[in-house]
A and B are shown apart, each in its own frame.
Chain A
Amino acid sequence: MFYLSKSLKAAAVLALLGTSGTFGAAQAETVLNRDMGVELKTLDIQKMHLLAEHEFAADLFDGLLIRDADGNIKPGVAESWDVSEDGLIYTFKLRDSQWSNGDAVTAGDFVFAIRRILSPELASKYASTLYPITGAKAFNKGESADPDTIGAEAIDDKTLKITLSSPTSYFLDVVTTTAMLPLHQASVSALGSEYAQPGKLISNGPFLLTESRPKEFALLTKNEAYWDAAEVALDKVYYYQITDEATAVRKFRAGEVDITRGSQGDNNAWASQNMPEAVQNATILGTEWYDLGHATPAIQDSRVRRAINMAIDRFALTEDILQTGEQPAFGLVPPGIPGYENASADWADLSYIERLEEARKLMEEAGYGPDKKLEFTINFNSSELHRKSAVALADMLGEIYIDASPYNRDSSAYWDWLISARGEYGLARDSWVADYPDPVVFLELYMGPLVADVNGNIDETYDALMNAALAETDTAKRMAGLAAAEARLMEVDTIVPLYHYNSVRLVNPQLTGWGNNPYAMHPSRYIAFK
């Protein structure tokens, strides 16, 4: 029981005291200590951008729709909703619920929030999530200054109408995101960005913000005015912001935190060996891949690209280097998107030996051999995991007459370099994690001319396939069209997919209500102590 949370121990001690002496002593508080693993960059939910921040926002605010512990969409502030036949108009009926200061939550609060996040002056990083709404993009780009052009309208206090520019099958998923959370109009208008400070923040979710020490922790306390407060078990939640992975693990072991991402750098080796019951592992909607530099003459040779793709032993990578049950990837889109059948590379079924043989043959045809090796760099952004992968990749490519050297840049320099290199490299690390289950999130990354920035490759056939799929209104046909595009992506070896992401957390086994879901969202409202 060494990982028993200290707070819980305190609670137990208090409880003992309570039975032995004091009558009717105040019930001990249940306190959850969770580590975000990143620093909370802002308290203004509309400026939040990272997964960990969205988790935090979901504790403070309640959207129209929310996700349950397993990631399924369920009603939040919206009691019910309708979608028009053409899939363009969404009408939400709001339940009676209150802000933490007692004001009623109205449809106007949602309209206000949508207008605010889209305003160019706020410069929200997450604003583009709402681009499916008609007029949203133009307003955010500053092309239209009239907020009425945005397709969000309060019919009355309890009815919200959202108009989309084109049918968006995943729009209900968008509604669950931080971008669609309401704001308390009066306080935000009066205070500006200050509205989010502890003591000032008026929220409508299961918890209230009590204290915030930047880069250290934020303290949340239960919101008794929350419409579903009866279901919330915790009294207090500390969100710690520990950036050193080893420190986070030590804190977990000492019972100072109940939830942490642990250490990715060593695959949470200690926890897996010594307390496997605490390791929670869930497949999420994310993929790790390498971009092939299509502007480099050697890489322009389709045989070389195919050979590189075939020579990577993804099983060796996931089992020896990552060791946390990731799924090897043979395509860009992660598995588990409802209605989508993943298109993987046609060589994926060959055995590794067959692939290697084929790859060597291709390289020889392209003019390479033991005495004439192809040289390039494997570029990645600093992280222990990326570095280990890059070293393993270089070793695997050594099998097919490639002399690849890993090259490491710090994160900011790397992502800036990737855009400016325009495909003039050998391999460059890339990744994406989706906030909602739609293949487009991944596939649109390779539509021209955007992709020219990443790997210098505009493939008109791919663009045509994508555009055809995106114009499709029938879901099944749309998904089939997208799968065809993904197949094309692998057919011309635009990228080298490696594996699909897992979200690993160390979770105090005394907790209940933990659900593993593809969004890595684990709001505190479902969590309780046994």
Chain B
Amino acid sequence: MNILILLIRRAFSAFLTLALTITVSFFLMRLAPGGPFDQERRLPAEVMANLKQKFHLDKSLIEQFWIYVKGLTRGDFGPSMIYSDFSVSDLVFQGLWASMQIGLAAIGVSLVLGVLLGALAAVRMGGWLDQTLMAFSLAGIAIPTFILAPLMSLVLAVHLKWFAVAGWGDGGFYYLTLPVVALAIPQIGIIARLMRGSMADVLTQMHIRTAHAKGQHPLLVVSNHAFRQSLFPVISYLGPAMAAILTGSVVIERVFAIEGLGRHFVQGALDRDYPLVMGTVIVYTTFIMLFNFVADLLYVLIDPRIRETGNE
């Protein structure tokens, strides 16, 4: 019942979010100087006129918006203005496929490692292990991906030849290990810190102390009570983590020459490929909302108290 209300509410706000995103990004983009056909090799006026007519760019902005929204209601994201062989849906879903694979792998890796390292640090709070782990996780957050990724590629691929320098290849470990790890490292750091913080909180709470008093083994205490409860902040971080990983993939996809959503987005914005940028933004928005929603669901499933209020 409450889950149903949650679902309806979410669907409604998702619709609002999408509508807002689409409208704002459409007009924001058109306010910008330059168009898809302004380039270093200037086009003759005749050619330019043909191109503009083909993509309705000669019509008024409102008309263009109307055409676009009409297309959307049919599930048509329009043609790419730059990649003329493809519709935006082709490009975006191809890109999504690649980005999702490395993105989900990175989320998985960072969840497992982050939670483990964070829990370890919390149990050994204040000790050398804790301090080393925390210093490393902070370093993981502080070193920009665009330094770490080329460095990894240089050392591990060019010099040691353990992995491929770049490219999707066959989609196996040889090709995708580096991008996934580079994408995961900052998230491992963040999740480890979150986990440590929340677990430390939980460990100091009274009932844990009581459990201790009853003479249970400390490790058992950790696994039984504290662990599950400490996961809450980590779970609610899932949505922002996905957003961060999608943002990070902009760099990773460029450094590792992977044709993902991030590359489509940045190249699209630079090329002023309006429909492509719109397509990627819509997909991004949907995904971030989806992950926020999954996080909420997990929350509700883990903690029965929240089911009562249905929110927060």
Complex contact flag A–B (Cβ < 8 Å): yes
Per-position contact with A for B140-178: 1 when CB-CB < 8 Å, else 0? Answer: 000000000010011001100100111110000000000
Q: Is the CB of B34 within 8 A of A415?
A: yes
Per the bound structure, the CA–CA distance linking A47 and B157 in Å amounts to 37
Contact A413 B33 (CB under 8 A): yes
B127 is an interface residue with CB less than 8 A from chain A: no
Q: Is the CB of B43 within 8 A of A256?
A: no
A391 lies within 8 A of chain B by Cβ: no
Q: Establish whether residues B35 and A416, one from each chain, have CB atoms under 8 Å apart when the complex forms.
A: yes
- Pairwise interchain contact B86-A214, C-beta atoms closer than 8 A: yes
The 8 residue pairs across chains A and B that have the minimum distance between CB atoms? A412-B34, A215-B259, A416-B34, A123-B50, A413-B34, A415-B38, A416-B38, A413-B33
Determine if A314 is an interface residue (Cβ-Cβ < 8 Å): no
Collect the chain A residues with CB atoms within 8 Å of residue B161's CB: 254
Residues of chain B within 8 A (CB-CB) of A412 are 33-36, 38-39, 270-272
Could you say which of A120, A141, A216, A381 contacts B259, with CB atoms under 8 Å apart? A216
A216, B175: Cα distance in complex, Å: 14
Whether the pair B254, A216 counts as a contact (CB closer than 8 A) is no
Knowing A240-B167, A417-B33, say if A44 contacts B46 (CB, 8 Å).
no
Answer whether A243 and B51 are a contact pair too, CB < 8 Å, given A193-B85, A214-B259, A411-B39. no
| Contact partners of B158 in chain A: CB under 8 A | 250, 253-254
Q: Are A42 and B39 in contact (CB under 8 A)?
A: no
Would you call B259 and A251 a contact (CB within 8 A)? Answer: no
B interface size (C-beta, 8 A): 51
**Knowing A140-B47, A412-B272, A413-B33 touch, does A43 contact B85 (C-beta < 8 A)?**
yes
Chain B residue with the shortest CB-CB distance to A412: B34
Map CB proximity to B onto A145-189 as digits: 1 under 8 Å, 0 otherwise: 000000000000000000000000000000000000000000000
Task: Decide if the interface of chain B is mainly helix, strand, loop or mixed.
Answer: loop
User: What residues make up the interface of B, taking CB atoms closer than 8 Å to A?
Assistant: 32-44, 46-47, 49-51, 53-54, 82-86, 90-91, 94, 150, 153-154, 157-158, 161, 164-168, 254-259, 263-264, 267, 270-272
Which of B47, B90, B164 is in CB contact (< 8 Å) with A127? B47
- Assess the B270–A256 pair: CB atoms within 8 A: no
Is A250 within 8 A of B271, CB to CB? no
Residue A197 CB within 8 A of the other chain? yes
Q: Which of A376-412 contact B (CB under 8 A)?
A: 381, 409-412
Q: B146 to chain A: closest CB distance in Å?
A: 10
B145 to chain A, nearest CB (A): 13
* List of B residues within 8 angstroms of A433 by Cβ: 41
For residue B258, give the distance in angstroms from its CB to the closest CB of chain A.
8
A219 to B53, CA, bound (A): 33
Q: Who on chain B is nearest to A242 by CB?
A: B257
Q: How far is the CB of B223 from chain A (nearest CB, A)?
A: 44
Chain A residue at minimum C-beta to C-beta distance from B94? A214
CA distance A140 to B85 in the complex (A): 21
> Among the listed A121, A128, A244, which residue makes an inter-chain contact with B254, where contact means beta carbons less than 8 Å apart?
A244
CA distance A246 to B157 in the complex (A): 13
Is the CB–CB distance between B255 and A247 below 8 Å? yes
Given the complex, which residues of B lie within 8 Å of A197, measured CB to CB? 85
16 contacts between A and B (CB under 8 A): A39-B267, A121-B54, A125-B37, A213-B259, A216-B259, A243-B257, A250-B153, A250-B154, A250-B166, A254-B157, A254-B161, A411-B34, A412-B36, A412-B272, A413-B32, A413-B33
